[in-house]
Structure 1
Amino acid sequence: MAAAAPHVMVLPFPAQGHVTPLMELSHRLVDHGFQVTFVCTGLTHALLLDTMHSGEAPAEGIRLASIPDGMADGDDRRDLCKLLEAISLRVPGYVGDLISETEASGAAKVKWLVADVNMGFCFQAARNLGVRVAGFWPAAASCLGTNSRIPQIIQDGFIDDKGFPKQQGSYEVAPMMPPLDASHLPWIIDGPPDEKQAVFHLASSYAPWSSLAEITVCNSFLDAEPTAFELFRDIVPIGPLFADQELRKPVGQFWPEDVSCLEWLDAHPHRSVVYVAFGSFTIFDPRQFRELAEGLELTGRPFLWVVRPDFTSDGLSKAWFDEFSGRIAGKGKLVSWCPQQQVLAHPSVACFVSHCGWNSTTEGVRNGVPILCWPYFADQFANRSYICDIWRTGLAVTPGEDGIVTSEEVKTKLEQVINDEGIAKRARTLRDAARGSLSEGGSSYANFKRFVSLLAE
């Protein structure tokens, strides 16, 4: 009789950019003979069930399970600081309960917890129950490595012990790695001081949590960040991850995808379309929204723009938006969410206007698409540094003194990115390196095999 497939519990942080790579990893684990319980907090679980066709399992071998997030019914789950406080206090207990209940139900014993390092406060709870722990880092290795150096950065006088800058300018951890910029520290987000503290506390805790994991794997590849992997040898690159070569398996989207955009792309020539998407968190004020819209229109190029229902703060004139939509009807297509990996793999896409989230960055890299960078918060400024300064596969928009990126700036930078042969060539070289790392004999391929062997022990 064949042995039962080893049972792995997978735990993402409850945000789109964290769920996607861990769902991709889960599909890959199922392909290697594991059974996966994919654990999300309540709201995220409900969103996944909605988009994954009312409760079907996303794949043979993946079971979706739900735990509470520790917040009250009426609480705002977009308030990152309140969410962090609630999950860090209560979710470890819920994870422990779920592991115990799973075993009591007669299901296969959970052998491993593969958890987002951002959920590292759950590592000890799993270990207490005899479950082995693997950390998963969904962003750049340099970002996790830099956070592990926080005590040194405080000692060097660049930030205080609350994470606030004490100097202007930037702090270099190592050459050829994104520096820390005093005006864009990844843990400083909008909110009252005590809430900012919660985010800095999280960033400072990665290193002690990671020490509880037997391995920490990361959605990156050796050629993208050679310095980071040289410096931080305990971070193991297994990326860039994707669920399947055909891009057909669901990757855990929170919103229904408008697939009509793929047919629309089919009707456009090779490298002609500007693709614009800012991830799941970015919010533009109405003035910035209009400048971006008018800048895209000014290029005269076809564009595909993802405009989430909550993408702009209140105050955008409906009359203006209707008039704009009418004007661009022949040229531009607006969708509320799309199958981004399929879009970026499409030959008609010439350029990606992006917030530089790490998933978007690696998806652009994997397809050799030049990027116009427009970071919003957190690690996105460091990712911009990789794209513009280190890989040189894109450019960045420059806001005016009032903080607004003008329509003229959008048009000018887009033309520069699209027409720069050097950028295009470097983007293709990095794409080939990414694909090579995933092929037999490549570094990510070998690391993934090693990871799978460890989980199968």
Structure 2
Amino acid sequence: MEQVVPHVVLHPLPTALGHIKPLLCLAQLLSEAGLHITFVITHHTHKSLENLSTLSTQFPNLHFETISDGLPDDHPRSLTFDFFYDIKTKTKPHFKELLLFLNTQSPTVTCIINDGCVSYPIDVAEELKIPIFTFCPHSACYLLSYFCIPKLIEDGRLPFSDDDMNCEINGVPGLEGLLRRKGLPAFCVLKDVQHPAFQFLVKEIFSMNGYSSGLVINSFDELELQILPQLATHYRKVYTVGPLHAFMNSKNGQYHSQLITSHACLWKADHNCIAWLDSQPPRSVLYVSFGSLIKMSISQLMELWHGLVNSGHPFLWVIRPDAISSEEEQMIPQELQMGGKEKGYIVDWAPQEEVLAHHAVGGFFTHTGWNSILESIMTKIPLICWPHMSDQHINTELVTKVLRIGVELEVCDRSTIQTIVETLMGTQMEEFQESINRIAKFAEDGILQVGSSSNHNIQILVADIKKIKLN
């Protein structure tokens, strides 16, 4: 009897590029391993992504399905409590309907790999008795910070007794010296732990590991050595399979490229910046980009501008069309629109992996999103960290205090920015470079050497999925 190919359904958090991109890389890896893959995105997100159909040509086992998120067209879909509550109730029936349909096809659904930031697929999987794995697109240290919340409530440390968000939180195994109040999930600032939003989000967290068959995480063993063993106590099994973007590119003979993952981009990249980089000396350029979500005030933009110009180092700066805070109706000042005079080059969006791999780039000024950290490590580019939200605060602690591959910008003023750029690109560049070269070697070995860390773990994941079909 011919063995049926396992069918895996993957579903990212809608609208979040930082979640879609790594899960799409995982989908490609599993497809290449011979599994039948259905990648489920919402109609709203699908409109923003380019050329997904070409991936199905490159990966014949990879298929895309779209569902309604149940929200009106004019819904802002920003990552707020209301959004998570809405998709919990309104997207769930559409996801369930698709799974029921897929189970009338061949092959039927073997398992689901779900973005751990949304719980409705777990509810549906449990209802339909389909095994499900939790995917973590961010750092292990941030995920572990979620699991300490009940103990902090029990100890009387939540809600916070004052407004000092820099206060260090001690006594959390695995996060010693890393966790501050600002590094906890944002809802922890609520003054009442019985608040409906607080209770809802805590329940969402602990649904991640209840029915889950295991945790698939975009990290690698040596990157979060002290954290991963503690995280493993919360899951049946943990598969560290990152950095997924580099893993996928290496499989396609395009190591350090952006060709495959560019399909998960919400803006059209300006490739003219590569020609400008070609004209710059090696390791001289500071790349500046704060991801797909961060918004700033006009005053912050101007402080950044003056700090970058005054540093004397050439810079490539991504300023998204929607980068200005909605409270401000002002246009981007003319001097920014004109570009960086002799030293700077400004674009709406850049092909980030290609930029970071360019010989002219020597530093990365970032919001410290997890994908950006991993991309920086793989291209051996030290970091200036300017965290704003979510996992970015604890990621910054990891980067600056444990890995020692970058420095934090704590105050956004031009003199501080000038000093910190001069530090990264000049006085301490060699020190940071030595650290990041060492960590990048661990990542490269884990991906490229058979039997090593991430390479081995992806094989174990595939084997475990195939075993489900045999049961």
- What TM-score comes out, normalization by structure 1 length? 0.90
- Equivalent pair of 1:145/1:232 in contact (CA under 8 Å): yes
Q: Distance in 2 between matches of 1:366 and 1:229?
A: 20
Partner in structure 2 of residue 113 of structure 1: 112
Q: Distance in 2 between matches of 1:191 and 1:338?
A: 37
Displacement after TM superposition at 1:253 (Å): 1.1
Partner in structure 2 of residue 307 of structure 1: 319
Determine if the alignment matches structure 1 residue 137 to structure 2 residue 136. Answer: yes
User: 1:406-455 deviations in whole A, cap 9, x for unaligned?
Assistant: 11111110110122121111111111111122232321111111011112
Aligned ranges 1:270-419 → 2 under 5 Å: 270-313=282-325, 315=328, 318=331, 321-326=333-338, 328-399=340-411, 405-419=412-426
Q: Distance in 2 between matches of 1:339 and 1:327?
A: 18
Partner in structure 2 of residue 236 of structure 1: 239
Q: Distance in 1 between matches of 2:54 and 2:354?
A: 24
Q: Distance in 2 between matches of 1:195 and 1:273?
A: 49
- Equivalent pair of 1:187/1:200 in contact (CA under 8 Å): no
Distance 1:410 1:167, change over 3 A: closer
Q: Percent identity?
A: 28
Q: Distance in 2 between matches of 1:189 and 1:288?
A: 26
Q: Distance in 1 between matches of 2:220 and 2:270?
A: 30
Aligned ranges 1:33-112 → 2 under 5 Å: 33-48=34-49, 51-52=50-51, 57=56, 59-60=58-59, 61-78=61-78, 80-104=80-104, 106-112=105-111
Instruction: Identify the range of structure 1 (52-61 vs 276-285) with the bigger mean alpha-carbon deviation.
Output: 52-61
Distance 1:144 1:388, change over 3 A: same
Q: Could you say what secondary structure the match of 2:244 adopts?
A: coil
Q: Distance in 2 between matches of 1:203 and 1:21?
A: 25
Distance 1:334 1:178, change over 3 A: farther
Distance 1:199 1:229, change over 3 A: same
Displacement after TM superposition at 1:6 (Å): 2.3
Q: Distance in 2 between matches of 1:445 and 1:301?
A: 38
Partner in structure 1 of residue 458 of structure 2: 448
Q: Could you say what secondary structure the match of 2:345 adopts?
A: strand
User: 1:78-130 deviations in whole A, cap 9, x for unaligned?
Assistant: 252221111111222221110111233x3421111110111233213123223
Determine if the alignment matches structure 1 residue 220 to structure 2 residue 219. Answer: yes
Q: Distance in 1 between matches of 2:136 and 2:177?
A: 17
Q: Could you say what secondary structure the match of 1:115 adopts?
A: strand
Q: Distance in 2 between matches of 1:58 and 1:265?
A: 32
- What TM-score comes out, normalization by structure 2 length? 0.87
Instruction: Identify the range of structure 1 (323-332 vs 131-140) with the bigger mean alpha-carbon deviation.
Output: 323-332
- Equivalent pair of 2:363/2:381 in contact (CA under 8 Å): yes
* Structure 1: 5+ residue stretches without partners: 400-404
Distance 1:261 1:204, change over 3 A: farther
- Equivalent pair of 1:397/1:410 in contact (CA under 8 Å): yes
Q: Could you say what secondary structure the match of 1:19 adopts?
A: helix
Q: Distance in 2 between matches of 1:64 and 1:138?
A: 20
Q: Could you say what secondary structure the match of 2:363 adopts?
A: strand
Distance 1:324 1:130, change over 3 A: closer
Which letter maps to 1:437? G
Q: Distance in 1 between matches of 2:384 and 2:174?
A: 23
* Structure 2: 5+ residue stretches without partners: none
Aligned length: 445
Which letter maps to 2:43? G
- Equivalent pair of 1:84/1:198 in contact (CA under 8 Å): no
Q: Distance in 2 between matches of 1:44 and 1:383?
A: 27
Displacement after TM superposition at 1:174 (Å): 3.0
Displacement after TM superposition at 1:270 (Å): 1.5
User: 1:212-239 deviations in whole A, cap 9, x for unaligned?
Assistant: 1111111011111111112122333111
User: 1:278-298 deviations in whole A, cap 9, x for unaligned?
Assistant: 111110011001111121111
- Equivalent pair of 2:178/2:398 in contact (CA under 8 Å): no
Partner in structure 2 of residue 8 of structure 1: 8
Determine if the alignment matches structure 1 residue 257 to structure 2 residue 257. Answer: no
Q: Distance in 1 between matches of 2:199 and 2:186?
A: 5
Q: Distance in 1 between matches of 2:189 and 2:162?
A: 19
Distance 1:191 1:264, change over 3 A: farther
Q: Distance in 1 between matches of 2:390 and 2:432?
A: 25
User: 1:379-412 deviations in whole A, cap 9, x for unaligned?
Assistant: 100000001111111101121xxxxx11111111
Q: Distance in 1 between matches of 2:368 and 2:330?
A: 28
Q: Could you say what secondary structure the match of 1:224 adopts?
A: helix
Instruction: Identify the range of structure 1 (232-241 vs 17-26) with the bigger mean alpha-carbon deviation.
Output: 232-241
Distance 1:12 1:165, change over 3 A: farther
Distance 1:253 1:324, change over 3 A: closer
Displacement after TM superposition at 1:208 (Å): 3.4
